[in-house]
């Protein structure tokens, strides 16, 4: 019995029924990591086996005493390495935080621990979540488990690959411009970004604070809903945390979309989209239509302005957020310097990678006097217009359906040479962050090279239940099982 | 390419961003930034006159709480991360004579 094939829900059921122990599950995960990590490099830090075992024993005891009985009790999971974990190094995949050991734990991670989850490691990512391929990590690239010559996507590429490679049962990621949904799509798993403010950002190392949101990356829609339930909380330590109604995401796992209105933006199927992606996504729309959804095309508008607006806003916020890395309180400090300012400059120049420096500089520029109005305020005004476009769309539709990305996973080394081309890969995900909306991606097939294609469903703010319901219905009726890549490679059928 | 980034601008951005690039890095950064700004300039096709800038999607308010200490003494753990610490404090380079 390979426990790593289970979903979080089925594994926890077995544990709570006494068929297996939390220790069995945790050690199965540790063994999987030992066996596969050299091929995929999903993790920056794997926890010490003894420490994992000790934590598993504690959880086992709580389950036996009846103090833990939720649907995630005993499940081993991985955390993106930009979420602080007390006593466990947290690097953001950057040299500047190579040895940083946080004195506190991120709220979302703490919520998982309260639910009885056993954390087994910290996953690789693009440095400070800036990138779409996980290649900008200081610790080296992660490989796509479907084909090791390809990237897993990014920036939560380590989390996505770890779930796909069965090196954990589920993972947390963070999404600033598509960083959960795009790698989930490239790795053939389910990933969800909730409405801004749903999950506390306390302990999430900030990139673009007005856009960042933590979310689940898992094997199926049910797991996603269950995990989101566990990590959602109103947290006074995050001033943008929303005290929201309409939680209980599990109740949206309904296999029925009769009468649901689904809009497909024509603008999402224009220039630059792969034929295989277009076909797989439109086929998925047909599946939902056959289940009774009312599907029609519409003009979303302003799609091409989302990426430039995003880069102004995200880089501006990044330049401010990353000002804290100065070689004084934590992290790397250059060994040789002359005076305070030289120490700052050398520390940051040596500690940050190229993409991070590029974004900090662009952000500093657009915020500088003389350019602030022309660039920064212009981008914020564009954001207003983009939000209005979505408001108009959601007056007519319950769900917006489209691809997660225009292509399947590119080859390693192909993206970084041309930043703008790489940025264009985020065209379907980025506007969702600008408008604060929830979005979920579900595997909807493979391309001619056997690489996964992801369907993206977007909902109005706080209407996660609509997209969970549509995603669940699609998953139940798509007519194929999304195998793990290992099984698919051995000749298992995906279509 | 419409935007050209001068050496002076790069120098100024370096001061703001507290970054010091090698001359090779600087040349590449100039080119990258010019390309990005050209791309960002497509926003000028949009008429945004009279449109309010939106920094947050939802109205955000300051969160206040009573001025009561809730955390414990974590000095040791916090200083353990410092590149240099001495006598319970961070060590910084000499800043004035």
Least Cα separation, residue B44 to chain A (angstroms): 8
**E-strand stretches of A197-341:** 213-218, 261-265, 294-298
Question: Which residue in B35, B42, B77 is closest to A305 by CB distance?
Answer: B42
Catalytic residue positions of A, numbered: 80, 155, 179
Residue A490: the pLDDT is 62
Q: Is the pTM of this model over 0.95?
A: yes
Task: Average the pLDDT over A375-399 and give the result.
Answer: 97
Across the interface, whether the CB atoms of B52 and A381 are under 8 A apart is answered yes
Task: Average the pLDDT over B3-7 and give the result.
Answer: 89
Q: With contacts defined as CB-CB under 8 Å, which chain B residues touch A419?
A: 32, 35-36
Q: With contacts defined as CB-CB under 8 Å, which chain B residues touch A357?
A: 17, 19, 21, 25, 29
Assess contact for A192 and A299: CB atoms under 8 A: no
Pick the CATH number of B7-45 from 3.40.190, 1.10.3470, 3.30.460, 1.10.20: 1.10.20
Q: Domain residue spans in chain A?
A: 3-267+278-299+392-489
Task: Average the pLDDT over A191-204 and give the result.
Answer: 98
Least Cα separation, residue B34 to chain A (angstroms): 10
pLDDT digits (tens, 9 = 90+) for A278-296: 999 999 999 999 999 999 9
Residue A375: the pLDDT is 96
Task: Average the pLDDT over A192-203 and give the result.
Answer: 98
- At the topology level, CATH places domain A3-267+278-299+392-489 in Amidase signature (AS) enzymes (3.90.1300)
Tell me, rounded to whole angstroms, the distance of Cα A401 from its chain centroid. 19
Q: With contacts defined as CB-CB under 8 Å, which chain A residues touch B8?
A: none
Task: Decide if pLDDT at B38 tops 80.
Answer: yes
Question: How far is the C-alpha of A142 from the C-alpha of A320, rounded, in Å?
Answer: 28
ipTM of the complex: 0.95
Exposed e or buried b per residue across A86-124, where buried means at least 16 C-beta atoms within 10 angstroms of its C-beta: eebebbbbbbbbbebbbbbbbbbbbbbbebbbbbbbbbb
Across the interface, whether the CB atoms of A383 and B53 are under 8 A apart is answered yes
Residue A486: the pLDDT is 73
Question: How far is the C-alpha of A277 from the C-alpha of A269, rounded, in Å?
Answer: 9
Q: With contacts defined as CB-CB under 8 Å, which chain A residues touch B33?
A: 358, 361-362, 365
Task: Average the pLDDT over A314-341 and give the result.
Answer: 96
Residue A246: the pLDDT is 66
Task: Average the pLDDT over A137-152 and give the result.
Answer: 98
Taking only residues 53 to 92 of chain B, the set having a beta carbon closer than 8 angstroms to any beta carbon of chain A reads 53-58, 60-63, 65, 74, 77-78, 80-84, 90, 92
pLDDT digits (tens, 9 = 90+) for A207-257: 999 999 999 999 999 999 999 999 999 999 999 999 987 679 999 999 999
Across the interface, whether the CB atoms of B81 and A436 are under 8 A apart is answered no
Question: Which residue in B33, B57, B65 is closest to A436 by CB distance?
Answer: B57
Least Cα separation, residue A15 to chain B (angstroms): 35
User: Which residue bears the tokens 């920094």?
Assistant: B55
Helix (H) or strand (E) holding A62: helix A49-64
Question: How far is the C-alpha of A287 from the C-alpha of A490, rounded, in Å?
Answer: 27
Question: How far is the C-alpha of B50 from the C-alpha of A492, rounded, in Å?
Answer: 57
Among B33, B70, B93, the strongest candidate for a mutation testing the A interface, having the largest count of A CBs within 10 A, is B93
Least Cα separation, residue B2 to chain A (angstroms): 15
Q: With contacts defined as CB-CB under 8 Å, which chain A residues touch B53?
A: 377, 380-381, 383-384
Please state, in angstroms and as integers, the Cα–Cα distance from residue A337 to each residue in A376, B24, B26, following that order: 34, 21, 20
Q: Domain residue spans in chain B?
A: 7-45
């Amino acid at each position: 019995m390979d426990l790593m094939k289970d979903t979080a829900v089925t594994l926890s059921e077995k544990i709570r029924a006494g068929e297996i122990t939390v220790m069995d599950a945790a050690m199965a995960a540790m063994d999987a990591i030992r066996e596969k990590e050299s091929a995929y490099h999903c993790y920056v830090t794997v926890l010490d086996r003894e420490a994992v075992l000790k934590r598993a024993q504690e959880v086992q005891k709580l389950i036996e005493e009846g103090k833990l009985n939720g649907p995630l009790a005993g499940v081993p999971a991985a955390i993106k390495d930009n979420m602080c974990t007390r006593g466990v190094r947290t690097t953001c995949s950057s040299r500047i935080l190579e040895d940083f050991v946080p004195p506190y734990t991120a709220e979302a991670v703490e919520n998982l621990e309260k639910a009885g989850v056993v954390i087994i490691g910290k996953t690789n990512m693009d440095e400070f979540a800036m990138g779409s391929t996980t290649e900008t990590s200081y610790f080296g690239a992660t490989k796509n488990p479907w084909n090791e010559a390809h990237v897993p996507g990014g920036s939560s590429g380590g989390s996505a690959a770890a779930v796909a490679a069965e090196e954990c049962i589920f993972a947390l990621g963070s999404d600033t411009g598509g960083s959960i949904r795009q790698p989930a799509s490239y790795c053939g798993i389910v990933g969800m970004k909730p409405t801004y403010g749903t999950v506390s950002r306390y302990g999430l190392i900030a990139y673009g604070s007005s856009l960042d949101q933590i979310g689940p990356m898992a094997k199926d829609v049910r797991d996603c809903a269950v995990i989101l339930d566990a990590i959602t909380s109103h947290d006074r330590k995050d001033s943008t945390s929303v005290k929201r109604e309409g939680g209980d995401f599990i109740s949206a796992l309904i296999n029925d979309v009769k009468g649901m209105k689904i809009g497909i933006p024509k603008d999402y199927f224009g220039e630059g989209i792969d034929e295989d992606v277009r076909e797989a996504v439109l086929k998925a729309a047909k599946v939902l239509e056959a289940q009774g959804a009312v599907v029609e095309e519409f003009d979303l508008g302003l799609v091409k302005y989302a990426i430039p607006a995003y880069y102004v806003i995200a880089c501006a916020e990044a330049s401010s957020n990353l000002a804290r890395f100065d070689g004084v309180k934590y992290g790397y400090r250059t060994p040789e310097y002359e005076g305070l300012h030289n120490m700052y400059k050398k520390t940051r120049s040596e500690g940050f990678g190229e993409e991070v420096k590029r974004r900090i500089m662009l952000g500093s520029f657009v915020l500088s006097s003389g350019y602030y109005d022309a660039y920064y305020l212009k981008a914020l005004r564009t954001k207003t217009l983009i939000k209005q476009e979505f408001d108009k769309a959601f007056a007519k539709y319950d769900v917006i359906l489209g691809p997660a990305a225009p292509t399947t996973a590119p080859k390693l080394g192909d993206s970084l040479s041309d930043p703008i081309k790489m940025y264009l890969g985020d065209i379907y995900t980025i506007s969702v962050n600008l408008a604060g909306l929830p979005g979920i991606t579900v595997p909807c097939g493979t391309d001619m090279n056997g690489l996964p294609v992801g369907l993206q469903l977007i909902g109005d703010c706080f209407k996660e239940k609509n997209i969970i319901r549509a995603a669940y219905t699609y998953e139940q009726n798509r007519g194929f099982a999304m195998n793990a890549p290992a099984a698919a490679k051995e000749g298992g059928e995906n279509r | 390419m419409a935007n050209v980034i001068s050496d002076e601008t790069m120098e100024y951005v370096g001061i703001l961003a507290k970054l010091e690039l090698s001359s090779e890095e600087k040349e590449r950064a100039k080119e990258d930034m010019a390309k990005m700004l050209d791309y960002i300039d497509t926003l000028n096709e949009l008429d945004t006159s009279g449109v309010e800038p939106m920094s947050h999607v939802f109205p955000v308010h300051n969160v206040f709480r009573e001025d009561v200490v809730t955390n414990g003494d974590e000095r040791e753990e916090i200083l353990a991360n410092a590149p240099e610490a001495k006598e319970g404090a961070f060590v910084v380079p000499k800043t004035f004579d």
